[in-house]
Structure 1
C-alpha cells in the first residue's frame, strides 16, 4: 500500500495546475479489511483523472462497494457496522506532495490509514466548485446512484453539518462512541450506520482541535471499539463551498 501512496505524491508533484483550472482536492477511501467489497485480495487503486464530487460518489458506491450498505436493500447481512464520510477543508491536491504539512497529524493519519488497510482507493483530483457544499454533492450523488434510494437507512450527522435542524445531530465524540458500540451489538442483519462527519466536527469543543486531530481520534475510536468500518475522507478547501442550506430529507428520500 505504501507504493500507491508514493505514486499519488509523485504524480501530484509533477502536475502543474493552471490558474484557470478549478481547485482540486484529494479524496481517500479505505477499510482496514476488504470485507469482500470488490475482491478477497488486498487492493490499492489510484485514479489519476479529475472527477466531480458526484462522480466520486458513484465510484465509491460501485468500486468501493458502499452500495452494499448505503443503498436500500432488503434481507442483507450487515457488512460493516459504520461507514464514515469525513469532510475536511484543509487539503488541496498539491498539498499531498509537500514536505511540510500545515496539519501534519492529518497527513500522517491519512497516509497510515491508507497504506495499512487491505482495501484503499485514492482520488487525487476531485474538482471543487462554488455551487454546492461537498456534503450535498456527495449525498446527492449517493442518492442518484442508488436504484431504490437510501430508503430507511440510518444516517447520522455531527452538529456542524448543514442539514435540517429537526434531524438528530451528535455533539461530541463520546456520543459517536456510544453510537458505534450500539451498532456492534446489533444483529448481523442490522443496518449499517452512515456517519457524516462535517468540517470542524462539533460546534462546542472546550479545546479547539485540528482536522487531523479529529480524524485521528475518530480512527482510534473505531479501531479500539472492534467495529467493522470503512471511511471516505474528502476535502473542500475554504473558498469553494456554497452557503446554501441543505434539506437532507428531500435530498435523501426523494433522490432529487
Structure 2
C-alpha cells in the first residue's frame, strides 16, 4: 500500500544494467533503477545479477516485465526485485491476477521455491511491490478503480504507447495525451498513491515532480546517446579525426 507522505525520487530506466552502471547507481545512492525487460534483450539472469549487485545499496530495483503471464511474473519475482512494473494492463482484474501469481499462500498461488527472493528458502515473507504502467486508454479510464484496490501499490505512465492508443481511438495530439497523463497523476496523487513519469532528460527531472508525480525516471541509454552526440558536436568538423585519418 502507499506510504504517506510520498518522497520525491529520481532514478533510471535501463535495458543494459552493466556492472559499471550499477556500481555508479549504488555509489550515488540513486533512489531506484527500473530494468526494462519488455521488448528488449534483458534476461532473467541479468535481472537477478542486478538485484544481487544492489542488494546492499539503498537503491530499489524494479523490473518492467515482458508480459503478464503467471510464470513470467513468478520467474521475475524469484530474482528478488523490489518491484514489478506491469505493462499493457487494461483492467483491474489483471492486476488482481498478477497479485495472486506473485504471492505465496494463502493470498496467492506462487510456489515456495528456494531462490534469492526467499533467502533460499529461509524467508517467504519477501514479496515484490506491484505497480501498473498506465499506457492504455482503458487503464486511464479505470484509474480510480485501480487506486481503490488493496493490491494496488502505485503506478507509472507510459506516454509514448499511450499516445499511440489515443491515436487509434481518434484522439491524436499533445493535448489529449497531456490530459490523460495528468488525469492519472491527479487521481493517484489524491489517493495518496505513488506515481512515476519519464523525464525528458536529467536536467528536466524536476518538471516531473512539478506536475505532481513523486518519481521521475530517466531513460539511461537515451541520455547517454544525447551526451555522446553533444560531445561529438563539440568538435569542429575540420579538426575531427576519423578512424581512417588515424591510420
| Structure ranking higher in helix proportion | 2
Which of structures 1 and 2 has the larger relative contact order (alpha carbons within 8 angstroms, sep 6+)? 1
TM-score, length-normalised on structure 1? Answer: 0.30
